[in-house]
Amino acid sequence: MKRIALLALFIVSLCCQVVFLNAETLEMLSNKSFPAPVMPEVSFPHDAHNDRAKLEDCSVCHHHYENGARTDESSGGTPCADCHRPSLHSKGFNLSAAYHGLCKTCHLDQKKGPVVCGECHKSN
């Protein structure tokens, strides 16, 4: 029984490290999920953004829905495109709408941060 408990603890610890390391290294919101990207990728230094915005609750951005209702769980570690597939453009809240809705709404509410296309989508 102790071996199973230790193994479970190890697996949980490993999963937490993977999620943490992914967040640590996120610097760019990729446009690779879009079949024919129209705009350049968006620079997004995850940790620096959250430090400046004083965001501590991951579920603010990494939300999770169950049976159509938002829960307190975080979807951290799950790529946004897994739920907000670009192919859902006419059927649901696609990736573009999700990014723009979440980011721009927060920036407008806080009266801080970019809200115009070229402020996020910068050509290299």
From start to end of 55-114, where are the E strands? Answer: 65-66, 69-70
Taking 70 as the threshold, does the pLDDT of residue 18 lie above it? no
State residue 88's pLDDT score: 66
State residue 97's pLDDT score: 87
Per-residue pLDDT tens digits for 62-112:
988 888 888 988 988 888 888 888 776 655 678 888 889 999 999 999 999
What is the tally of structural domains in the chain? 1
Name the phi and psi angles at 69, rounded to 5.
-115, 140
Instruction: List Cα–Cα distances, 116 to 6, 22, 68, 99, in angstroms.
Output: 50, 27, 30, 13
Domain that holds residue 85: 2-120
Of residues 62 and 19, the one with the higher pLDDT is 62
22: domain CATH number? 3.90.10.10
